[in-house]
A and B are shown apart, each in its own frame.
Chain A
């Protein structure tokens, strides 16, 4: 499957991804996450650093009650996460391609590129977008976006979560809100 990035217009305002943070009961960060909406109405996709995956799965399973109508599954082995950097301003990958589960601009910082969650390698045009390993970590650190173990056990506001749009002060209560809302 080859993604034709020239056929779709960019609309970052409708990016179906939200940065957020999971907190412990004491208000400390368990992991940072990007929450994707997928094509399925009852499905959300959590894009998390690998080093915090086990902690997040244990955390989620703690709160799955008998009446909670959710199923949690790790699909890391079945999908590929690709990031495109330096997109021309008028094009973007297709969000409705058959192999693409979710796609959108990274909402945390404008330089973090366009993420594509696909069921198989998305076949990016190598001539137009050559492979450049390590770009993500470099751009992420330069943009001040922490991830994974870098922010474990900090509070949400100590980890730039508010700056990257990951904290809502006007929503209802959530786990760890007391320590987050009073800072």
Chain B
């Protein structure tokens, strides 16, 4: 290992040493940062982080083509669906009676 380093040609050593140095643009940026007051520079220049739902990368839209839309229309639409779905409604007192009557209707029909 030591022998291989000693025998390394000078040109290769020089090229390795140049690649470890920061590129010119980065070096000037580092110099500028070192000359600034750390606390005041960060608080004045860093933009506030956006909230997750406000990040622009999170905004998009999509038209859903794999959904179907069915209307249930009529004066008995709410009562009809209340007896068939698992979800409730805000006005439970009204729908309890309707779903109860629907249940009786179904029982009689069956």
Contacts and interface: CB of A to CB of B under 8 A. Distances in A.
Given A50-B68, A51-B66, A136-B62, 12 more contacts: A21-B85, A35-B81, A43-B71, A44-B78, A47-B67, A47-B69, A63-B83, A74-B70, A87-B53, A131-B61, A170-B88, A174-B84
Nearest to B87: A20
Contact count band on B:
35 or more
Given A63-B80, A167-B87, A40 B99 contact: no
A109 B85 CA distance: 20
Interface of B: 51, 53-56, 58-64, 66-78, 80-89, 92, 95-100, 103, 105-106, 109
A60 interface: yes
6 contacts: A53-B70, A82-B64, A83-B61, A89-B51, A132-B60, A168-B89
A84 interface: yes
Contact of B100 (A132, A168, A173): A173
Contacts of B70: 45-46, 48, 53, 56-57, 60, 72-76
Contacts of B99: 171-174
Contacts of B63: 80-83, 121
Nearest to A137: B66
Interface in A50-108: 50-51, 53, 56-57, 59-60, 63-65, 68-76, 79-89
Contacts of A89: 51, 53-54
Given A48-B68, A74-B68, A76-B68, A129 B84 contact: no
